[in-house]
Structure 1
Amino acid sequence: MKPFCFADGQIIESKNAIIHPMDLGIIRGYGIFDFFRSVNYKPLFLDHYLDRFMSSAEKTFLPMPYSREDLKQIISDLTDKNDMEQGGFRMVLSGGLSDNHFSPADGKLFIFPEELLFPSEEKYNNGIKLLSLEYVRPIAEIKTTNYALAVWDSIRWKKEGAEDVLYHLNGQVSESSRSNFYIVKDGVLITPDQNILLGITRKHVLQLADKVEIRPLSMEETLAADEAFISSTTKVLLPVTQIDDHTIGTGKPGPITLDILEKFRALEKQMTSSKVL
């Protein structure tokens, strides 16, 4: 975490940020967040992330006390205060102090600049393993702070040498715990259309691919894929070469996966080539 954050309506030292223990974010796990990267002092795809964050607030009935321009100014000020050449920004809006300890209330906004840890180069070169898990995230289209199952289940992943999980229900694949999921079959990129978060990285990945299908995706199709990968803000695009004990394709990152990754990195470089916010 960087030295300065936004809390209580002002920029303060991050170590002094506090939340009331009776906030719904604590006692009910109710709140929203979003996370974006900053490269060369410039937030990447900021307007898209603000769109989603403000939409999440509206859909969860949490009042947003700041306008889009307010948020942009706060982020700019935090960038300067922390000399934030690169890293991540975590925006959190808590569920608030509720009179009945249950209904959404006026939440508390935090914006935390953070250091970023990317996956190792080995994972990009060799791919990763996912473990299948029968589950669909509650209100999956909203980026809520409720990751209880994933945090609990992550102990299993580590024991089995996996990077993450692949959620599925009734034979249909949805997403990973913190990433969108894709397969490639016969040159076509296929990604699920239901029970998913509409990822910002996903939005741009779909624009970079030549042939795309956005539709229900079965587990049977997934295991028969030529290639597979996940995408997220912090992983960008990470090849998947194994699901449970099943090898995907050749067991190595595929050419279409690597081509999209290269195109995305070129797009990122183009968008962050100047220091102007």
Structure 2
Amino acid sequence: MPRIAYVNGRYVPHSQARIHVEDRGYQFADGVYEVAGIRQGRFMDLTLHLARLERSLRELDIAAPLSTEALKIILREVVRRNRLSEGYVYWQITRGVAPRDHAFPDNPKSALVVTAKRIDPARYTRAMESGVKVLCVPDRRWARRDIKSIALLPNILAKQEARAAGCYEAWQVEDGRVTEGTSTNAWIVTRANTLVTHPSGPAILNGVTRQVLLKAAEMADMKVEERPFTPEETYEACEAFISSSSAILLPVVEIDGRKVGDGTPGPVARKLRALYEAVAEFSP
């Protein structure tokens, strides 16, 4: 079945989806985005995604193109038209179309694009069982990573460096501390059985799945520290994992060519992955 996209008020075949050449997202990366997972036809943690979207728009002074309730209707319709059961929905809002000028245009009209994509859940099931490899690289991004901006070139370069090294993800390092992955949040479990992840703030994107996993850890009475950690600490950790809306949680079994723990997915990662299902919001 052909994929369907939503572009500025119209549902169109994905292959025919078009934006204007002077859309500021295309010319300046002047926009934000969100990605929500779909499980058995239901949105995962949609409330948190919409709240983060509102914050990103506010931080960049971009007007929402429509109300939250209207946006929900469009997201659901894109899922319906694509007959999506397992996958994710991506939506992007830019400042809109205007003659090319770095300063904000007067009275811009925000632009909205929504797409959907199927995924094979077995892909992540296999990765959960085998674990993934991570490469540490310098963090070359801008100083407002808490905004989910579409300006992702440094992330892309770091991800490609990791893939070229045979790794699934890159952990970005700033001032000797791991911030996060290129499209994931980073976690370790110390030998004292403490769960550690970078605190929220301008240095990282406060991942929706990150927020849910922290609630799950609290529910399980796990000891948690939200603080930066060094690459050297990761080499000594007994477990490590990454989290994201698409993959939820994937154990990390190797960092910079060094085994994490015994080189297999550990019990804390497995427990948190199971607890996620009990804490996450699933909505139609």
Q: Which residue of 1 aligns with 2:128?
A: 124
> Which stretch of structure 1 is more off in the superposition, 118-127 or 198-207?
118-127
Q: Partner of 1:203: helix, strand, or coil? A: helix
Q: Which runs of 5+ in 2 are unaligned?
A: none
Match of 2:146 among 141, 149, 160: 141
Q: CA deviation at 1:154?
A: 3.5
The Cα offsets for residues 64-118 of structure 1, whole Å up to 9 and x where unpaired, read as 1211111111122223323233321101112422345223443310111211255
Q: Which residue of 2 aligns with 1:171?
A: 176
Q: Which residue of 2 aligns with 1:113?
A: 116
Q: CA deviation at 1:267?
A: 4.6
Counterpart of 1:88, as a letter, is Y
Q: CA deviation at 1:11?
A: 2.4
- The alignment status of 1:198 with 2:245, answered yes or no, reads no
Match of 1:207 among 205, 208, 215: 215
Q: Partner of 1:175: helix, strand, or coil? A: strand
Q: Which residue of 1 aligns with 2:274?
A: 262
Moved over 4 A (4+): none
- Counterpart CA distance in 2 for 1:2 and 1:106 is 29
Q: Partner of 1:80: helix, strand, or coil? A: helix
Counterpart of 1:231, as a letter, is S
8 A Cα contact 2:171 2:180, kept in partner: yes
- The alignment status of 1:61 with 2:58, answered yes or no, reads no
Q: Which runs of 5+ in 1 are unaligned?
A: none
- What TM-score do you get using the length of structure 1 for normalisation? 0.90
Match of 1:216 among 223, 228, 242: 228
Q: CA RMSD in A?
A: 2.1
Q: CA deviation at 1:253?
A: 1.1
Aligned sequence identity (%): 26
The Cα offsets for residues 217-254 of structure 1, whole Å up to 9 and x where unpaired, read as 22332222111000001111001111112222221111
Aligned length: 272
Q: Partner of 2:268: helix, strand, or coil? A: helix
Q: 1:196 to 1:155 in 2, by over 3 A?
A: closer
